[in-house]
Structure 1
Amino acid sequence: MPVKNDTEKRWVELDVVFPGTPEQLWRAMATGPGISAWFTPTTVDERKGGAIAFDFGGGAASRGTITEWHPPSRLCYEEHEWSSGAPPVATEITIRARSGDDCVVRMVHSLFTTEDTWDDELESFEAGWPGFFEVLRAYLSHFPDQKAVAFGASGVHPGTHHDAWREVSAALGLSGPNVGEQRSTPVDAPTLVGTVERVQQGMKTCEVMLRLERPAPGIAQVGTYSYGGKARAAVSLYFYGDRSAEAAAEVEPQWRAWMAKRFPESTGDSSQA
């Protein structure tokens, strides 16, 4: 969907239906433990004027201030240093109940500028959320309100992101996936055993999502994408339940070592897909 604009700002918006009550969606989308269960490690000072901070790993982070706090229906916050030289970006999340124990969530990202300089970044927000929203959907459907621990590992491929996908999918036993299939990683990779929940392949990203049985109940997102002129491979893991922290502590070093060996950061220049 193209960026919308008026005389004061430019914005993108998404409307998504999720299972659950407004209270469940609020806990998942407006609290630190909830957001960390499907997006990235996050802390939230739960009040108007409070801080919200997203930790993307490797020193990358974004911090903002909550401008509206109306549980369980409306959260707004502004981030001022999300990208070098960029104007502030405002995020608005509204949650509305509908029949059948579902909720409609609207997310709007707005930049307070009339220039189109940052339209690519706005469009990247819109393109990036659907994959995380699928993790949120699985979390709400199978692991609602459970304790969660998440981590990720990534690396660089010297070719296109499609080249990276062919390599990472073959190495992890995920080539030619179909929804509903049981898949498991080979013996020379860290253990993943689960059911294919989602397959997404396109010009900008390739992704497979597994609902895990081992090494712990949870979700695995394996994918490739282009960023900054380089092709990247990434694995994001979300473990749920009482053993989530123990399982993450055990396998996170394995994944970081595997990714560093197969997709080292120092591969030199690579093509953009």
Structure 2
Amino acid sequence: MPIKKDETGKRWVEMEFITPGTPEQVWRAIATGPGNTAWFTKTTIDEHVGGRLHFDFGPNGASTGEVTIWEPPFRFGYVEREWSEGAPPVATEITVTSRSGDHCVVRMVHSLFASTDDWDDQLEGFESGWPGFFEVLRVYLSHFAGEKAASFSVMANTRAGQLSTWRRLTETLGLAGANVGEERSGPQQPERLSGMVERVRQDDKQRFVVLRLNAPAPGIALIGTYGTDGSANASMALYLYGDDAEQRAVEGEPSGETGLAKTSSIRADGCYWISRPEGRPPGQRSTMAHIHRRV
């Protein structure tokens, strides 16, 4: 959606989507630390107004904020004041509305106050970073809600264009031409990813596939590319569930880096979570972003 603005100087972007789950289940996923860890990144949240919110990105740093709205299970908000040098504070508000059939409508708004359009590109970047994560959230709530979770992510950058990178990535992982509902299994190099294709999206800015895993462990994989005709990034985020999820994530990260590096000689840059593209949207990161730890 386009950036909205009013006469007070407020500028904002908003997103809305439907997800499976009761309001209580959705609330736990979006407003608690363990919930965010299961579909986004390792997170801690003090569950009250004035509480501290912390998104952990491993060696790539962290993002912190303050809880400003706490109305379970329907309304949650926080503000980040130091998300970018010289930037005005950015507020995030999330509302959950119950629908029939154990589904909910989730609405998310990122807003700031500015007298010019200097931060409009960043606002637009906030919005574009979310779609893949929303798909992971849907699959999580449908199949793994409430389970213990751990995650890791790896990234590779290339001088090839996005389409070329996407083709190489999907061919390497056994996902070329993937269609929703198919069972796909990649090569054993170094560890096989196998599962059901839940979502495929392609446009001129980003491409991704969401895979509900049955191997190497129950979980979700978000695999995609982001970039331009001249250069692109490839990334793979794995969310693992169950009592041994943390140990599996620790063991799996080196294998993930190796596997992504095999994508036609694209160099892998290890990371726990990739930060957001240009402008670093508050608290939310895109797997197709440009900030990563150099090897």
Does TM, scored on the shorter chain, surpass 0.5?
yes
**Residues 111-130 of structure 1 aligned to structure 2 (within 5 Å):** 111-130=112-131
CA distance in 2, matches of 1:43, 1:144: 18
Q: Is the 8 A contact 2:150 2:239 kept in 1?
A: yes
Please name the residue that 1:270 is paired with: none
CA distance in 1, matches of 2:125, 2:190: 31
Please name the residue that 1:202 is paired with: 203
Q: Is the 8 A contact 1:216 1:243 kept in 2?
A: no
Q: 1:217 Cα deviation (Å)?
A: 0.5
Q: 1:189 Cα deviation (Å)?
A: 4.0
CA distance in 1, matches of 2:189, 2:239: 21
**Residues 58-69 of structure 1 aligned to structure 2 (within 5 Å):** 58-69=59-70
CA deviation profile, 1:193-237 (whole Å, cap 9, x unmatched): 10111111110111111000001111001100028x841100000
Two-structure CA RMSD over aligned residues (Å): 1.7
CA distance in 1, matches of 2:73, 2:187: 44
CA distance in 2, matches of 1:31, 1:148: 13
CA distance in 1, matches of 2:181, 2:222: 15
CA deviation profile, 1:122-154 (whole Å, cap 9, x unmatched): 112212212111100000000111111011000
SS in 1 for 2:84: coil
Percent of aligned pairs sharing the same letter: 56
SS in 1 for 2:130: helix
Please name the residue that 1:86 is paired with: 87
Label 1:166 to 1:126 Cα distance change in 2 as closer, same or farther (>3 A): same
Which stretch shows the higher mean deviation, 21-30 or 154-163? 154-163
Residue 264 of structure 1 pairs with residue 280 of structure 2? no
Runs of 4 or more consecutive aligned structure 1 residues displaced over 4 Å after TM superposition: none
CA deviation profile, 1:85-115 (whole Å, cap 9, x unmatched): 2211100011111222211111100011132
SS in 2 for 1:117: coil
Please name the residue that 2:3 is paired with: 3
Please name the residue that 2:185 is paired with: 184
TM-score (norm: length of structure 2): 0.85
Equivalenced residues, count: 265
Please name the residue that 2:105 is paired with: 104
Q: 1:258 Cα deviation (Å)?
A: 3.2
Unpaired stretches in structure 1, ≥5 consecutive residues: 267-273
Please name the residue that 1:144 is paired with: 145
CA distance in 2, matches of 1:83, 1:260: 31
Label 1:57 to 1:163 Cα distance change in 2 as closer, same or farther (>3 A): farther
CA distance in 1, matches of 2:266, 2:83: 27
Please name the residue that 1:41 is paired with: 42
Q: 1:60 Cα deviation (Å)?
A: 3.5
CA distance in 2, matches of 1:107, 1:196: 26
CA distance in 2, matches of 1:58, 1:11: 30
CA distance in 2, matches of 1:187, 1:16: 36
Q: Which amino acid aligns with 2:102?
A: D
Q: Is the 8 A contact 1:152 1:234 kept in 2?
A: yes
Label 1:265 to 1:114 Cα distance change in 2 as closer, same or farther (>3 A): farther
Q: Is the 8 A contact 2:257 2:268 kept in 1?
A: no
Q: 1:260 Cα deviation (Å)?
A: 4.6
**Residues 3-42 of structure 1 aligned to structure 2 (within 5 Å):** 3-7=3-7, 8-42=9-43
SS in 1 for 2:138: helix
Q: Which amino acid aligns with 1:108?
A: V
CA deviation profile, 1:222-262 (whole Å, cap 9, x unmatched): 100028x8411000000111221232122111112333564
Please name the residue that 1:269 is paired with: none
SS in 1 for 2:118: coil
CA distance in 2, matches of 1:111, 1:236: 29
CA deviation profile, 1:145-178 (whole Å, cap 9, x unmatched): 1111011000101112222111111111111111
Q: Is the 8 A contact 2:260 2:268 kept in 1?
A: no
Which stretch shows the higher mean deviation, 49-58 or 73-82? 49-58
Q: 1:57 Cα deviation (Å)?
A: 4.0
